[in-house]
Chain A
Amino acid sequence: DADVTQTPRNRITKTGKRIMLECSQTKGHDRMYWYRQDPGLGLRLIYYSFDVKDINKGEISDGYSVSRQAQAKFSLSLESAIPNQTALYFCATSDLGSTGELFFGEGSRLTVL
């Protein structure tokens, strides 16, 4: 089983719908992240959390919200999806005081029509 699991892996939705992407990890890491990947733009940080009580905005947080339900769970919500939120979304984890390595899930592909 993957250490960082994202659900759903693929989702097609319509403009205006609320969408939640979920991430769970078995690595025991304190830190969790949500990144967005677009062709030609690389990976951009949406939100990150260093522990259950700590949530921080990244580069591109507008239109997104997150919830850290437990150390192992970090979900990303789009309250009212719009077409330019069509992208590949990655959850990642890292360990406090570690080398800095991020461990990524396999991605959630979201299409907003």
Chain B
Amino acid sequence: GENVEQHPSTLSVQEGDSAVIKCTYSDSASNYFPWYKQELGKGPQLIIDIRSNVGEKKDQRIAVTLNKTAKHFSLHITETQPEDSAVYFCAASYFQTGANNLFFGTGTRLTVIP
């Protein structure tokens, strides 16, 4: 099955700085790569995703990049704010109609210091 590795496990940044979280995956058939944010006491929530036919996707202060050859994908958060503090999970799957079996990374706890 798919194996997703995520680094770092913890990350502290000053407010306004950028944060980068990196993931690698093992199954070259994987074609869907979402990122979830989990705030304290809540369930994970999708913040951005990317498919294998795209190299980069942006949504305001967050962006995701994908390198299919190297099987790497990364989350970039610019101009970090205290409300960005949370645990972030990357995930990978072979997405097709009828399949949503995501394999998650182990999570990154991001702390934004005011």
Contact = CB atoms under 8 A, between A and B. Distances in A.
A22 interface: no
B106 A100 contact: no
A59 interface: yes
Given A100-B93, A104-B45, A107-B43, A42 B101 contact: no
A73 interface: no
Interface string B70-103: 0000000000000000000100010101101111
A50 to B, nearest CB: 7
A108 B103 CA distance: 20
Contacts of B36: 102
A102 B102 contact: yes
A98 to B, nearest CB: 8
A101 B43 contact: no
Q: Assign chain B's interface to a size class.
A: 20 to 34
B1 A59 contact: yes
Interface in A62-111: 90, 92, 94, 96-97, 99-102, 104-107
B100 A42 contact: no
B63 to A, nearest CB: 18
A58 interface: yes
B1 A42 contact: no
B24 interface: no
Interface of B: 1, 4, 6, 9, 32, 34, 36, 41-46, 49, 89, 93, 95, 97-98, 100-107
Given A41-B106, A90-B44, A102-B102, 11 more contacts: A31-B100, A42-B106, A43-B89, A43-B102, A59-B1, A96-B97, A100-B95, A102-B36, A102-B100, A104-B43, A107-B42
